[in-house]
Amino acid sequence: MILTLFPFKGASEGILIFLKEALPKRLPSLSCKSGPPLSLPPLGFDPLRGQWQAEALLTHLAQSSDPTSLRLGVTGEDLYSPGLNFVFGLALIGRGLAIFSYHRLRESFYGRPDNQKLLCLRALKEALHELGHALGLRHCHRWCVMRFSNCLEEVDEKPDTFCSNCLKRLGLPLG
């Protein structure tokens, strides 16, 4: 299965390179390639919130890419979804389409010195989580990357791997 990573304007090249190498190690049936950079949809920005509506970016990604492939949009912008203060990402369940943001995964967002290694680990977890949704998985209550994360601490607590139940649902060998 081929995953195409689509960077939205301004996305970190370092995070994209890391994800291209790390994602296939967690999903062995996956190979990654880079898609062209995408612009941010102007109507997706809410100036009162200073955030981008996740659904607008997801729609823009859907309209800008091959609907038969697995696609992950990557952004450094702050995302929200109606009714929520923010989201780390969003996916269409089972439709091969997802986006995630590393904006709130950065230590500097919380007034602390940035840590690239920690940022990459968090980005991997959220990329895997959203890809899990794109491949049909729902939230999992086990020790699993599919566990819901409502805050950074919950991202840090969960592993960067799928549990045995989620691996079975994905049709992957148990590790």
Strand partners for 45: 52
Spatial separation of the C-alpha atoms in residues 88 and 64, rounded to whole Å: 21
φ/ψ (deg, to 5) at 8: -80, 155
Query: Beta 45-46 vs 51-53: how paired, if at all?
Result: antiparallel
Catalytic site includes residue 13: no
Domain spans of the chain, in order of start: 2-170
| Res 1: pLDDT | 84
| Res 174: pLDDT | 56
Give CATH for domain 2-170.
Answer: 3.40.390.10
**Catalytic residue of the set 77, 130, 154, 157:** 130
Q: Which residues of the chain have pLDDT under 50?
A: none
| Res 152: pLDDT | 97
Global pTM reads 0.94
Segment 37-46 long-range contacts (CB within 8 Å, at least 24 positions apart): 37/6, 37/7, 37/8, 37/9, 37/11, 38/6, 38/7, 38/8, 38/9, 38/64, 38/73, 39/8, 39/9, 40/8, 40/9, 40/10, 40/75, 40/77, 46/80
